[in-house]
Chains A and B, each alone.
Chain A
Amino acid sequence: MDMEKLSINRRTFTKGVAATASALILPGYMRQAVAASNSGGKLTVALFKDLRTLNPIMGIFGNEWRCTANLYNNLTRLVPGGGVEGDLAESFESLEGAKVWTFKLREGVKFHEGSELTSADVMATFNKSFDPITSAPYKGELGPIASVEATGKYGVRFMLSSPMADFPKAMAGATARIISEAGIADFDNLNAKAYGTGPFRLVDFVPNERVVMERNPHYFREGLPHLDQVVMRVLPDNTAQQAALQNQEVDAIAEVDAPIFAAVSRINGVTGTQIPGGLFQNVVLLANQAPFDNPKVREAAKFCIERAPLAAALTENTGSPGDDHPISSAYEFHNESPALRQANLSKARRLMREAGYSNGVEIDLVVANNPSSRNRLAVLVQAMTAQAGINFKIEQMDNARYGSTIWNKGKKCYIGNYGTRPYADAILTKLYHSRLGIDEGRWATPDSDAMLDRARETIDPVERRKIYGEFQKLSRNNGPFIISSFQDSLFANWNYVQDFPMSAISTDMRLEQTSLGDGAPGK
């Protein structure tokens, strides 16, 4: 292991943790005072790729979510430590055992175009999201909403088809931004227009190039935002990103690519921050097809994986090993036990013999080109599993073809790619539930579905932790995925950038608290 790299990562990690902690510990009024003295200026943030639309309902890429987080607000928002608080909602409460949720909206909040936020805007937003013609790509992650109704000018009630304890967290999601009624009426133009209440107003948007935003003087949080202007630039090349940061052409990088993290962290005056994340790539072992319909073959494949070295190689030492379930340490309900599975080739070979595959087996494995780490994972897994006779034949293809012919079609094994979700249920239900999710590995049973339903409905956190713990164990031992590593969320910014938002969910990039200190070229 590269000790020099490790020491830098540790150091920068500690610095990052310290900075985050001080931001949290520092009393609100003090932070306000510090920032007030540093208000104004232009912040330029580098984004890596994919900025196609500013439509919050249709956006599917992290960079789109980073931008809309500053143009719009949600009913709720996530707070450090895994909690949730009101954003546009002043308060919220559950009724009927988390099957009905009511939200009381703040009064006097204005959209950028001048209209006042009311329950009609919230209803218009969710009705549009759930309109089958809209086909909102992430509507499944908004929760099992059966209907939305107004309970007055500033009150909204959500009726769910099944109870959901995490519903307020679902409302903080990137695709649950509140759009004005006027915006919904102008839905076809939402790609390049913003009808939000957010701290910044849209000035200019060039798809896959840049977004320019200016301070919203009527923002409902008094004294915020601190910055006059925010520019988000798409720099799709690592060298260009690194050079732009070093030259102060950009002040921060929102999502540093692992191969350049150590180098940007070494720039004098720049802090690289590493926060344990939950981004992972899963090798999907379809449980409805031979040979992975046999649990012994799935287990054999899992016993071939050298997790720690694979995670180090795949994440360039900026991640942690995974144990074949998607709940990393970044999640509230992460279960520490059982201990990380160690590679055991003799056991893997024995399992293969018992499954009737003594002579080995050949399986197609489809890999999309982007992100490139998927290809590296495929090659590494191929080399490891071949030792037990599981011979993956890798087929590469472009993302568009992969998306429309392979992903979740249940026909060929492939490598998926998932970002960190705000709570465990969001990723577990999506990946494993046969009705509410996609059951990506074609593995769900009535029992596994029932277990997820039970966890989703349970309000008592101790009981929920227990159920999620059981599910993680089940999916680890018997589930249809090899999940060998988790990528941390990586950030880099010049030290004059204060309160740059950093969390495990790196796409939740709200810049309203961010300000520029002394030495900032943008001031």
Chain B
Amino acid sequence: MLAKIISRSVTGLFTLLMVSLVIFVSTQFLPGDAAVTLLGDNATEEALSHLREELGLNEPAVTQYLRWVGGIVQGDFGVSQTLGLPIGTILGDRFIASLQLTILTILVAAIVAIPLGVLSAIGQGSTIDRTVLSISYLGISIPDFVFGPLLIVAFALPPLALLPSSGYVPLSDDPLAWLRHMILPVTALTAVLTAHLVRQTRSGMLEVLKSDYVRTARLKGLPERQVLWRHCLRNGLATTLTVLALDLGFVMGSIVVIEEVFAYPGIGRLTVFAIGDRDIPLIQATTLVIAATFVVANILADIAHSMLNPKLE
């Protein structure tokens, strides 16, 4: 297992290095001049050239890339061009806020979707199955930028006015207020994810239910509950775990929209701002952090998959 962890980590690091290269090259091709964006259109040529020098924009691209990667290795993401603040300090709190949103979303989605997917698979063709499938179609069909505002109208505005419509309170400040602020954005993110996960779990379970070893277990006369718990779920869940890890990427993408709708101070909103203001170091840092989260989640899913299904070793 240790060898597998090391091997997966090395692969992950290599992937991240490639991702960093893609991010860097892509940002080099963005149109416009970062110095002009930063100083505005009234900037003098003298000021522009001073700033270009200061930002290292006149250096060869290879030097810029190596300096950037070297800084990241030492925990230095550079300075935001538009905010004039070290990116590490801007990113830290926002990453934690987004991670809370993501983990909560994945947890809720898993808790809701896995039992529904299993139930749906067991009762294939039944009313439950058809209902679950119909609802999941609905979930997939409604985009999150529509669902988010709908939730605000339904639950944050009178007559219900049950929950705050926007913002964030740190967990350490007030756990109850934290939870109240998380409910709507998590629900918006969970809706689409749950729909997707239900369908994946259902498919995985159906495949397992039709497998030879399940048929053998049933022929051996094992009670159905034991067949399901001991033989089906363990193998069915392995697939679901992989899907969940892949869905993490989807959630990290969706938070860009959801954080904007709910004014949630996370990394998604920061990315929108960075792109809008062409803040290249910030775009590079946020994109790399999102990519790193995705890679780490996949490594963890791989490891968990192996633990659940030792045959894969």
Contacts and interface: CB of A to CB of B under 8 A. Distances in A.
Mutual binders A and B: yes
Interface string A199-233: 00000001111000000000000000000000001
A401 interface: yes
Interface size on B, as a range, is 35 or more
Nearest to A398: B276
Q: Select the residue from B37, B50, B276 with max chain A CB neighbours within 10 A.
A: B276
Contacts of B153: 239, 243
A236 interface: yes
Nearest to A408: B41
Contacts of A400: 32, 37, 276-278
Nearest to B261: A237
B156 interface: yes
Contacts of B37: 400, 403-404
Contact of B157 (A52, A53, A243, A398): A243
Interface in A371-414: 398-401, 403-405, 407-408
Given A135-B47, A235-B263, A240-B262, A207 B276 contact: no
A482 B161 CA distance: 45
A288 interface: no
Interface stretch (A244-252, A290-298, A452-460): A244-252
A438 B167 CA distance: 40
A207 B263 contact: no
Given A370-B276, A401-B278, A133 B46 contact: yes
Interface string A40-65: 00000000000011010000100000
A192 interface: yes
The secondary structure that dominates the A interface is loop
A191 interface: yes
A239 B152 contact: yes
Nearest to A267: B158
Interface in B148-169: 149, 152-153, 156-158, 161, 164-167
Contacts of A239: 149, 152-153, 165, 261
A404 B36 contact: yes
Contacts of B50: 133
B42 A240 contact: no
Interface in A429-459: 438
Interface residues of A, number: 43
B90 interface: yes
Contacts of A135: 39-40, 42-44, 47-48, 51
B60 interface: no
A137 interface: yes
Contacts of B84: 53, 55, 188, 191-192
B32 A236 contact: no
B273 interface: yes
Contacts of A236: 260, 263
Interface string B87-106: 00010010000000000000
A78 interface: no
B13 interface: no
B83 interface: yes
Nearest to A60: B40
A22 to B, nearest CB: 30
B82 interface: yes
A408 B42 CA distance: 10
Given A53-B83, A239-B153, A234 B158 contact: no
A137 B261 contact: no
A5 interface: no
Interface string A111-144: 0000000000000000000001111011110000
A405 B43 CA distance: 14
A55 B83 CA distance: 10
A168 B30 CA distance: 42
Nearest to B79: A188
Contacts of A133: 46-47, 50
Given A191-B85, A239-B152, A403 B165 contact: no
B33 interface: yes
Interface in A463-488: none
A206 B90 CA distance: 8
B269 interface: yes
Contact of A244 (B30, B42, B83, B166): B166
Given A239-B261, A404-B36, A137 B42 contact: yes
Contacts of A208: 269-270, 273
A233 B41 contact: no
A137 B260 contact: no
A247 B263 contact: no
A519 to B, nearest CB: 16
B265 interface: yes
A191 B164 CA distance: 30
B42 A209 contact: no
A188 B156 CA distance: 41
Contacts of A438: 41-42
Contacts of A53: 82-84
B221 interface: no
B31 interface: yes
A243 B166 contact: yes
Contact of A132 (B44, B152, B156, B273): B44
Contacts of A404: 31-33, 36-37, 41, 278
Interface string B55-87: 000000000000000000000000000111100
A370 B149 CA distance: 21
Nearest to A208: B273
Contacts of B261: 237, 239-240
A52 B167 contact: no
A140 B41 CA distance: 12
Interface in A231-276: 233-237, 239-240, 242-244, 246-247, 249
The 10 A-B residue pairs with the shortest CB-CB distance, nearest first, are A135-B47, A243-B165, A400-B278, A137-B40, A404-B32, A404-B36, A191-B84, A239-B149, A135-B43, A240-B166
Given A208-B273, A240-B152, 11 more contacts: A138-B42, A140-B42, A191-B83, A192-B84, A208-B269, A237-B166, A244-B167, A400-B32, A400-B277, A404-B33, A438-B41
11 contacts: A135-B40, A140-B42, A208-B273, A236-B260, A237-B166, A240-B166, A401-B30, A403-B37, A404-B33, A405-B31, A405-B32
